[in-house]
Amino acid sequence: MGSITLNQITKSFGAKQVIPPLDLTINDGEFVVFVGPSGCGKSTLLRLIAGLEDVSSGQIMIDGADATAAAPAKRGLAMVFQSYALYPHMSVRKNIAFPMKMAKMAQSAIDEKVTNAARVLNLTDYLDSRPGQLSGGQRQRVAIGRAIVREPSAFLFDEPLSNLDAALRVNMRAEISDLHRQLATTMVYVTHDQVEAMTMADKIVVLHDGLIEQVGAPLELYETPRNRFVAGFIGSPRMNFVEGAEAAKHDCHSIGIRPEHLQISTESGDWQGKVGLAEHLGSDTFLRVQTDHGEMTVRAIGEVGVGYGDTVFLTPDPEKIHRFDAAGLRIQ
Amino acid sequence: MARAVTNRRKFIATLLAWTVAMLLFFPILWTFLTSFKTEAEAIASPPSFLFFDWTFENYSTVQERSNYARHFWNSVVISVGSTLLGLLVAVPAAWAMAFVPGKRTKDVLMWMLSTKMLPPVGVLIPIYLLFKQFGLLDTRTGMVIVLMLINLPIIVWMLYTYFKEIPGEILEAARMDGASLRDEIIHVLTPMAVPGIASTLLLNVILAWNEAFWTLNLTAAKAAPLTAFIASYSSPEGLFYAKLSAASTMAIAPIMILGWFSQKQLVRGLTFGAVK
């Protein structure tokens, strides 16, 4: 079991309210990602769930029981920190065993669990090393190991991959997803990286200034963003927005069109523009095109054979145009 | 050319450092030399530097006249005792200020430090009377308490600086792992801060060992440490420079040896946190 329900919770630091009243339900076994720009309150929200910060008001229910005032260790949750937060003076074995030692488990049971966790996480050869002797990825696995052995009802991850290099991040992303599949335990994952959110989540919670902008499955957010903020935040490169006359043609205040939904041609199209930056990746081409309606980012599949200074024409796919009103809300 | 300037600068800096070091060390060296002179040579003018009749007479006289071992033991008990007691009080205090700071934590720290700026003589009478009232005059317990209080601000400050360097996330991880506050301090914080705690301990043992104002004013015979032992040779009875020097040398030798072997920790301790 590992369902978490937040009822009208708020958090203030002094006079500053960082989380306005917020409701959220995380179902058992779900992989939920909190995503948003830095300072949006996503880490604070995770720390409130963990019990590392006290809520200013509201109620936190874990597995149906009120955990609002419970101490962190009593909530049955395990957390993996951005900095890994390993105990530097203890060996990997002792790091992983620490929560069980605190729970006063029998030494034989501890040994067995440490051995198992080390096997699952490929750490067997490093059990007697200190964290300082390990690479970033290995440290991250130790941190995960320390979380697994507690058999928590939910895992909390606070930007666990942001200290790793790009290649390792892709690997660890897959490992964490695998782990979720194996354990089928609830995972709550905080990141500012929408790629991590899109690739790992069952459900994404987009946060902005402490408010939930939208909750939904990754593709739901991609296809039907509730407002301009979500539209701009989810998807990479970000959505292009056009206001004024072009938007008026669609009966709205602004339209949004994703870079991959713009057709590019050197002969004809709706919008004419000049290529600024061109990034040729082989598999894709990213172009920044200066048009009369502002700068647009275009993503074309494969190599399109245009470069800096070329004149091109862009045509949005009419099916894929997102319309927003003056308040930035989606118009269906 | 740049190289020449660097070398000349290096030379000047080295020379300057040696000069300052010699200036600081000279009184100790002079005391040491004087302790091997006769009383007459000790006050001779012009003084002789190395070429005099070396004698151990002063040391044997000092040994005969006073009980070095007892003073030494008092010094050990008072300095180590006050430091350990201080640590016991300061670790939780520094923990609180480093990891759960309030709005006024900085002020509390400054206020603690400000007590070090008070001239001790200003509180001598009240403390003397309190000691008299509680029967603490000339007791080692009394001296442990008063020296602990005198050095507590420094202990708290040093530990606070060390603890500040320990990432809060590690303690939060311990909390998530089910550690109680006691477990957190014993199993995580203290082992991580061992180098810091060691240098704090060392510095405070030295400070307490050398403390003279309170030890001289609040002890007479039973609890008198080595400072009182030295002072007993600066008496109005006459000139006893050589014996005074012998007593001083015996009093400072143990702490100088301790300091010499732990210079690394001491320097690290005093500069910790200054450079990341």
Residue A105 contacts B, CB cutoff 8 Å: no
Inter-chain CB proximity A85 and B183 less than 8 Å: no
Closest CA to A214 of A192, A198, A194, A230: A230
Please check whether residue B179 is in contact with residue B252, taking contact to mean a CB–CB distance below 8 angstroms.
no
Residue B172 touches partner A, C-beta closer than 8 Å: yes
Residue B260 lies in a domain: yes
Q: Which two tokens stand for residue A85?
A: 């937060």
CATH number (domain holding residue B183):
1.10.3720.10
Q: Is residue A331 part of a domain?
A: no
The answer to whether the CB atoms of B188 and A71 lie below 8 A apart is no
B29-78 confidence digits (pLDDT tens): 999 998 898 887 887 778 777 777 888 888 888 888 888 889 999 999 99
Give the pLDDT of residue B48.
77
In this predicted structure, what is the pLDDT of residue B270?
65
Q: Is residue A332 part of a domain?
A: no
Contact flag B178-A73 (C-beta cutoff 8 Å) = yes
Minimal C-alpha gap between A96 and chain B (Å): 10
Counting the structural domains of chain A, the total is 2
Strand A284-291: give its sheet, edge to edge. A262-265, A311-316, A271-280, A284-291, A294-301
Q: Within a domain: residue B238?
A: yes
In total, the C-beta contacts within 8 angstroms joining chain A to chain B are: 58
Task: Read off the pLDDT of residues A68-120 as tens digits, 9 standing for 90 and up.
Answer: 999 898 899 999 998 889 999 899 999 999 999 999 999 999 999 999 999 88
Structural domain boundaries, residue A201: 4-230
**Distances, alpha carbon A116 to alpha carbons A85, A112, A150, A174, A302, in Å:** 21, 6, 13, 20, 45
Is B91 within a domain? yes
CB B3 within 8 A of CB B216: no
- With CB atoms and an 8 Å threshold, state whether A79 touches B188: no
A65 plus A111 within the same structural domain: yes
Q: How far is B171 from chain A (nearest CA, A)?
A: 8
The answer, for B89 touching chain A at a CB cutoff of 8 Å, is: no
Interval A138-145 mean pLDDT:
91
B193 lies in some domain: yes
State the smallest CA–CA distance between residue B185 and chain A in angstroms: 13
Last residue of a domain, one of A210, A230, A250: A230
CATH of the domain at A312: 2.40.50.140
Same domain, residue pair A218 and A295:
no
Say if the Cβ atoms of B173 and A81 lie within 8 Å.
yes
Closest CA to A118 of A107, A104, A128: A128
- Domain membership flag for residue B25: no
Please indicate, yes or no, whether residues A187 and A271 belong to a single structural domain of this protein.
Answer: no
Q: Cβ contact (<8 Å) for A73 and B175?
A: yes
Residues A277-299: what's their mean pLDDT? 92
Domain end among A230, A258, A291: A230
Are residues A295 and A175 located together in one domain of the fold? no
Q: What pLDDT, on a 0 to 100 scale, did the predictor assign at position B3?
A: 62
Residues of A in contact with B172 (CB under 8 A): 52, 72, 79, 81, 85
How crowded is residue B238: how many other Cβ atoms within 10 Å of its Cβ?
Answer: 6
Is A76 near chain B, with CB under 8 Å? no
Report the chain B residue with the minimal C-alpha distance to residue A158: B169
Of residues A81, A85, A102, nearest to B178 (C-beta): A102
Is residue B141 in some structural domain? yes
The verdict on A213 and A244 lying in the same domain is no
Please state, in angstroms and rounded to a whole number, the distance separating the CA atoms of residues B206 and B263: 12
B198-228 pLDDT, tens digit per residue, is 888 888 998 999 888 888 888 888 888 888 8
Residue among B169, B173, B192 minimizing CB distance to A89:
B192
Peptide bond into B46 cis (omega under 30): yes
Using CB atoms, pick whichever of B167, B175, B177 lies closest to residue A146. Answer: B177
* A246 and A205 share one domain: no
DSSP state of A239: P
Q: With an 8 Å Cβ cutoff, is A83 touching chain B?
A: yes
- The verdict on residue A187 lying in a domain is yes
Whether A218 and A249 share a structural domain: no
Answer yes or no: is B58 within a domain.
no
Which domain, by its residues, includes B156?
68-270
CB distance from A73 to chain B under 8 Å? yes
Task: Please check whether residue A111 lies inside any domain of the structure.
Answer: yes
Which CATH number belongs to the domain containing residue A160 in this structure?
A: 3.40.50.300
Mutate to test the interface with B, among A47, A49, A83, A98 (most CBs of B within 10 A): A98
Strand ranges across the sheet with A240-243:
A240-243, A254-257, A322-324, A330-331
In chain B, what residues touch A71 (CB-CB under 8 Å)?
A: 175
* Distance of residue A195 Cα from the nearest chain B Cα, in angstroms: 26
In order along its 276 residues, chain B shows pLDDT tens digits of: 556 668 888 899 999 999 999 999 999 999 999 889 888 788 777 877 777 788 888 888 888 888 888 999 999 999 999 999 999 999 989 989 998 888 899 999 999 989 888 888 988 999 999 999 999 999 999 999 999 999 999 999 989 988 888 888 899 999 999 898 889 888 998 888 888 888 888 889 989 998 888 888 888 888 888 888 888 877 666 667 888 888 889 888 888 888 888 887 777 666 654 443
Q: Which residues of B touch A83 (CB under 8 A)?
A: 167, 169
Please name the residues in contact with A167: beta carbons below 8 A apart, sequence gap of 6 or more: none
Gap from B186 CA to chain A (nearest CA, Å): 12
Residues A252 and A223 grouped into a single domain: no
Alpha-carbon distance A216 to nearest alpha carbon in chain B (angstroms): 29
- Cβ of residue A151 closer than 8 Å to a chain B Cβ: no
Residue A270 contacts residue A314 (beta carbons within 8 Å) = yes
Is the ipTM reported for this complex over the cut 0.90? no
What b/e readout covers A218-239, taking b as 16+ CB neighbours within 10 angstroms? beebbeebbbbbbbebbbeeeb
Instruction: Verify whether the Cβ–Cβ distance B169 to A85 is below 8 Å.
Output: yes
Q: How many other C-beta atoms can be found within 10 angstroms of the C-beta atom of residue B77?
A: 16
Q: Is B183 in Cβ contact with A78 (below 8 Å)? A: no
pLDDT of residue B236: 65
In three-state secondary structure terms, A207 is strand
How many domains are there within chain B? 1
Contacts of A115 (CB under 8 A, 6+ apart): A124
The answer to whether the Cα torsion of B231, B235, B240, B241 is positive or negative is positive
Q: Which of B170, B178, B192 sits opposite A103 (nearest CB)?
A: B178
pLDDT at residue number B272: 54
- Which of A204, A230, A256 marks a domain boundary? A230
Same-domain check for residues A196 and A273: no
Amino acid B195: pLDDT: 81
Name chain A contacts of B99, Cβ cutoff 8 Å.
Answer: none
B100 neighbourhood in chain A, CB within 8 Å: none
pTM value is 0.77
The residues near A311 (Cβ < 8 Å, ≥ 6 apart) are: A266, A272, A273, A274, A275
List the one residue out of A31, A33, A142 whose CA is nearest residue A92: A142
CB of B236 within 8 Å of a chain A CB? The answer is no
The CA distance from A56 to A6, in Å, is: 13
In this structure, the answer to whether residues A195 and A284 fall within a common structural domain is no
Mean pLDDT computed over A289-311 = 91
Is A166 part of any domain? yes
Amino acid letter, residue B119? P
Using a CB-CB distance cutoff of 8 angstroms, which residues of chain A are in contact with residue B175? 52, 71-73
Is A330 among the domain residues?
A: no
